[in-house]
Amino acid sequence: MTFARTDHISNLDTLPRMPAWITSARAEVIEDVAFLSGAALSHLQVVLGCAEVPHALLRDRLALRAAEACVAFSGRPERTAELRDAIHLLRPSDLPGPAGETYLAWRRAVERPVSVKTLARALPHVEASRIASWLDAGPGTPVTSAAMVLEAVWTEAPRADVPAFILADAALGQALGWTHVVPLLAAGLKRADLRKQGDDLRLACHRALLASAVEAVRLSVELTFRTAHLKAVAPKLRAKGAGDAVEIFLTRDAVAPSALPLPDRAARRLCDRLVDLGAVRELTGRDTFRLYGV
């Protein structure tokens, strides 16, 4: 993700937190909610402009939140643990299933800079020409653009929630000058919001982005500190290929030992060592088929 460098943020101790007046305010009318969501997005822009933030890891974790929201909207029971398993424990001959496909779509959407080609890769069942048409449906301010894209997709394809949210976040990011999709809308909206239109949908989007921008700032700060610790302990790792393994942890929400560039036993030992050093966490609570993440 490429953002303008914010030189006044020079170290981890000065990463800016979201101001309390944004998170504590209670607004009802669209003008007040729009003001707060704009302030929250502006603050998120500042945070994302800090080079210390692990942008790829942040996007991957936000993609998981978005996928979980979309799966819940569809009425399926899978949540974070099941979604991680569906992708990270997938064998070459396996299919990820409907929930895994949703998560895979979000991960592909955030991996590369925004383009119709990137979005078509994330949404292989949607024609590229249709993607381009939907993205052009929302001229105007960033939140208005995103809401118009949602409405355009749902008007043509009422059940296409995943494409609607991915393209709306893409439109929002493009309007804000971001190079990558940053998943925000899906995790902030409620089921009752999904079929709203016009001003009601714009108000719902402002509320969703206010909540999601606050969470994205909090997560950015948390991941920045955790990845800084991982980088600090990396010189203590003596296993061949440990440096490349650390780079994988710095970009992915969850990692299976089999995904690391080490022999299986060495990969498991490295993961256990990183847990002992407090640099990564074991995410499953299982004795086998474990997953690790920052």
pLDDT digits (tens, 9 = 90+) for 58-82: 999 999 999 999 999 999 999 999 9
Q: Are the CB atoms for 256 and 89 separated by under 8 Å? A: yes
For residue 264, the model assigns a pLDDT of 94
Helices (H), the chain: 20-24, 30-48, 55-73, 80-88, 97-111, 116-122, 128-135, 142-156, 161-176, 185-188, 198-233, 242-249, 264-276
pLDDT tens for 144-168 read 999 999 999 999 999 999 999 999 9
Domain 237-293 = CATH 1.10.10 = yes
pLDDT category of residue 13 using cuts at 50, 70 and 90: low
So where are the chain's domains? 32-222, 237-293
Closest CA to 260 of 250, 251, 273, 249: 249
pTM: 0.93
Averaged pLDDT for residues 181-197: 96
